[in-house]
Chain A
Amino acid sequence: MLYQIRHVTRFDYAEPVAFARNNLRLKPILWSGQQLEDHALIIEPQGRVFPARAEAGLANVVRLVVEQSARTLSIESRARVRVDRPVPMPDASDPVLADIARWARESRDASPAGPAAYLFPSPRIPLDRDIAAWCAADLDPERGVLDAALALALRIQREFAFDPAATLVDTPPREAFRKRGGVCQDFAQIMISGLRAAGLPAAYASGYIRTLPPPGKPRLVGADATHAWVLVWAGPALGWVGVDPTNGIWMAGDHIVVAIGRDYADVAPIDGIVLGWGAQQMRVSVDVEPLEQVPA
């Protein structure tokens, strides 16, 4: 499937801001099952965009500097991405969780795609006793990794309410867990926290899912905005496998990965600082349009 993506972020400032310096993590990374065919950034007012000299890994980071005074800042990312990713199939021959945990501890892969860094709590996803206990029910050490990952994602989808009013972007996983509600980030964080507490490597993926469902299929939750889900490391043979606890499905042909990290801080589409006074307001719109239909 070929997707055309349009992701627009617009900041409105109550007072003109003098200077902005931001990270943009908007260009989709190279990742198995997807190819980036075209990407462009359209920024208004025009600033200077240059690649970051120092970056964390599985994200395409550019820095944006706007030196002129402005009341609005609009950042549009246009990408054309071809996605061809099989649906994972749990199998009796899958490695069990105990093996995954041991392999990860013993890993000799220090690269950002290796499992080791994702074994540990990160600033926005601490370990939590209650989340750990709740998730442990699906994470028996002798259970196959894909079977366990999907079971946990499905239980989160079933037992947690999708409720944009319940949480904010900074809400810690513990609080969303207590409320049994939230949005994609909350579900992803809870699942990641639970997997890590069980000694398993889990990463935070940010990206998009298709806006309009194929004929006859329901519309997926999380369209029209950036989406977040979970990657589980399933051993050296299977590698990283994506699972979406918001929709209770695998990451496959409908998901476009933009960036992968330990948590949101590593993948935030836009962050940084603006010099100015007063309030800011942000609006985001995302359009993911399939350019060709898959044969039924």
Chain B
Amino acid sequence: MASGAATSLFDAATIADRWIADYCAHVDAGDVLCARRRDPEWAALLEELAALSGEALGTARERAQRHAEDIGTGFRIVDEGEERPWPLSPVPLLIEKAEWDGIAAGIVQRAGLLEAVLQDLYGESRLVADGHVPAALVGGSPFFLRPLAHLAPPGGHHLQFVAADLCRGPSGEWSVLADHLRAPAGAGYALENRLAMARTLGDLQSRLNIERHAPFFAAFREGLAAACRRAEPRIALLTPGRLNPSYAEQAHLARYLGFLLVEGADLAALDDRLYVRTIAGLKRVDALWHRLDPRLLDPLALDSHSTIGVAGVIDVMAAGELVVANAPGAGLLEAPAFAAFLPRLAEVLTGKPLLLPNIATWWCGQDAERTHVLANLDSLVVAPAFGVAPLGLPDGKPALGAALDAPARAALCDDMARRPQDYVGQEVVRLSTMPTVADEALTARPFTLRVFAARGSDGAWVVLPGGFARIGAHPDPRAAVMGEGIWSADVCVHGADPVTPVSLLPPGDTSQLRRNPGTLPSRVADNLFWLGRYLERGEALLGLVRVLLGHSISADTGAALASDTVAGLVRLVVQAGAAPQPNGFRRADLTQLARTALEGEQASVDAINRQARSIGAVSRERLSADMIRLLDAPFPQRGGLLDRAGSLQRRYSALNGLASEHMTRTDAWRFHDIGRRLERAVAAIGFIRTFGRPDATSDDLSTLLDLMDSQISYRQRYLTGMARIPVLDLVTLDPNNPRALAFQVAAISGHLNKLPLLSDDGLAEPQQEHARGIAALLVITNAARLDDALLADVEARLLQLSGAIARRYFLQGAEPLRAAGLVLA
């Protein structure tokens, strides 16, 4: 806040005034700021930015961006491998309440109309029979799903959650560019943008009476729950998986709404019910909010190539036992060609005109419309009618008629003569502009607005006050050339009346509306188990490297170890696959070994961290932001090997601390802890079998205590120096030493006793028997009798235990094969 404190309020007001004056001097009248430059809200907003950044607007932009990154909704730009955030503009779009009410009324009317059209087209098809909608308009959409015809959607509605892209014309009128009905994306970004802006702009939200988002999401959740048959429904968000561009948004929404985040493999359709595979067996799912291409929802009823759907899910829906939001098939109305018919359909079905007009559209499948489009080609945009690239527009993108060169124009007209139904003509939309920050100054850029609406518990539509704006990269105001936008901005609806602070999301927190319904999907348990194992595996390897570095390489940190002990350390590193056998034990050899074990390609600390990170990425909704950040942190680059190893050690300790102190004691945490303790137990046996043999030297025993993090406990307990039996007792059998083998086994056994059982017959399940067997073996042993054969036996039993846990709780690797293939002649 240093820069903020340095700029007094008076300065801020002066700077804001100057920004507005400079900005409006260079901008067309249709700009949202200039049209309302006398409104105190814009001045207050810009003053806040000036107070934050002084003259340097770039600072404000960086700050907003940093908050957005901190909140952590990555966004994978399509075609790019890496996740990166969608840049957030520090200047939100302000819309006055009265103007917003007009937009909201238009969206509510539109959602109702779209629902009515879907009810008809998937039902009686009166609109087709009566000539209001050509049958080709229905058949032409790749998202018309014939299997859904005559199938009444459970809950009574095709649509539960919709989005639309709006544009504002130069004289301030709003119209609809596109509808999003299949799996509308972006509500999560609206949430995150608001959170980042609240952090950037402080209490401006209350001062300007800006409407909150939380009531909308609560209404959506209640609406979906009300559509279900059971009173306490289990609702899941079905994601296509982590490679989907908006996976992070989906994880965030699932967490915020208290929906289970599931993938197709987590679900099973059996006997007209949908179930999620959990650690407590199959649990019924009542509603799915899906984010899949709806054609991939069910490989049986829809596209048999789908590997991310659930076989039989449409049959469950048809049986009335599953609410699907939105109903697959709703995407039919997204086709641009439908926009040409909606004004007429509004009149037919509701007797009223559209409150929010579409952009003017002509479907060329009708002779008169095609003639109009061809005659006015130079002043129109030509676009694919159904979102599928026609032969005359090979890249599938809308084209400005005037911008087509002669060959492209000839190809277009040629194909339009044969397949006019594949094309629409659209008016060239000019967008009005809004301020954003470019080149350190307030700069006008064209924008579009995405708005969201959902059904509440009474089935009526509720509109999210706000949404998010997408801002174009260059000043050209034609919508057809704006593309996807390069910045996003928060959208704030402000009014005269104070907004009741019902926010269910305290600033700076990511708490959720509801707690998860206590269901742990098997896949999630599996992931958390392996996250625990990888973190411990990395830490154990790091421990070996640190002992090697500390005692054998770096001369000033401790006494050199005897060569036999060094050989033991090297053997453990090599057995772990982290480095090849060195040529000798000279200092250079050992340094090279340590470097490879830390940073090499395979099974190194770095490689293990990468595996942990990729599990973290698919478990976002279960892990805290701090944990994700630690997992995502880049491998340390600064300092020598010992410094880097130390920095990694601190990171592991922090992760361990977060897991043991900050994760709530749910079943999810238990699986994470079981994974950690199983791995720690296996590592301990390796250490003990190497350094605790009957002929162990005092260097060996001291190294064993180092690796088992028990040096201090030993010294407190025994004043005599190193002796094998006391060391073995401390690291193997002592039930009070949290690093000891017996302690890990007891902890695992304890966890397994607290996890759900499949039956209530009181008998132990196999994984419990395995764990108890190992614990008993250790209890009846004493350190003097502890020999290598016994340790080898315990190690084998631990691996059996791991297998038993996987068989009982996790999805078992049965891969779906397609039963396709056919001999044709």
| Interface positions of A (Cβ within 8 A of B) | 11, 17-23, 52-57, 63, 101-102, 104-110, 112, 114-121, 123, 127, 129, 132, 164, 169, 183-185, 197-199, 221-228, 265, 268-277, 280, 282-284
Contacts and interface: CB of A to CB of B under 8 A. Distances in A.
A268 B817 contact: no
Contact of A273 (B121, B128, B311): B311
Given A21-B311, A116-B139, A110 B821 contact: no
B146 interface: yes
9 contacts: A23-B304, A101-B418, A116-B136, A116-B138, A183-B825, A270-B822, A271-B304, A272-B819, A276-B814
Contacts of B824: 169, 183-185, 225-228
A119 B814 CA distance: 40
A110 B388 contact: no
A38 to B, nearest CB: 24
Given A117-B139, A268-B304, A57 B817 contact: no
A268 B315 contact: no
Given A197-B418, A227-B825, A273-B818, A116 B304 contact: no
A274 B817 CA distance: 5
Closest 7 CB pairs of A and B: A117-B139, A53-B318, A116-B135, A116-B139, A225-B825, A54-B147, A275-B814
Given A53-B318, A105-B365, A109-B135, A275 B816 contact: yes
Contacts of B136: 104-107, 116, 119-120
Chain A, interface SS category: mixed
Nearest to A271: B304
A223 B824 CA distance: 9
A66 to B, nearest CB: 10
B815 interface: yes
B701 to A, nearest CB: 47
Contact of B299 (A108, A117, A272, A280): A272
B300 A272 contact: yes
B713 to A, nearest CB: 48
Contacts of B390: 127
Contacts of B300: 21-23, 52, 63, 272-273
Contact of A106 (B134, B418, B422, B823): B134
Contacts of B140: 116, 119-120
Most-contacted residue by chain B among A21, A109, A227 (CB, 10 A): A21
Contact of A282 (B138, B148, B391, B821): B821
Contacts of B318: 53-54
B587 interface: no
Contact of B139 (A17, A54, A118): A118
A123 B296 CA distance: 13
B352 interface: no
B421 interface: yes
B816 A110 contact: no
B763 interface: no
B825 A108 contact: no
Interface in B107-158: 121, 125, 128-131, 134-136, 138-140, 142, 144, 146-148, 151
Interface in B309-329: 311-312, 314-315, 317-319
Given A52-B301, A268-B822, A280 B817 contact: yes
Contact of A265 (B135, B303, B814): B303
B419 interface: yes
B613 to A, nearest CB: 29
Most chain A CB within a 10 A radius of its CB, from B304, B318, B386:
B304
Which of A120, A184, A271 has the most chain B CB atoms inside 10 A of its CB?
A120
A132 B315 contact: no
B692 interface: no
Contacts of B135: 107-110, 114-117
Contacts of A106: 134, 136, 366
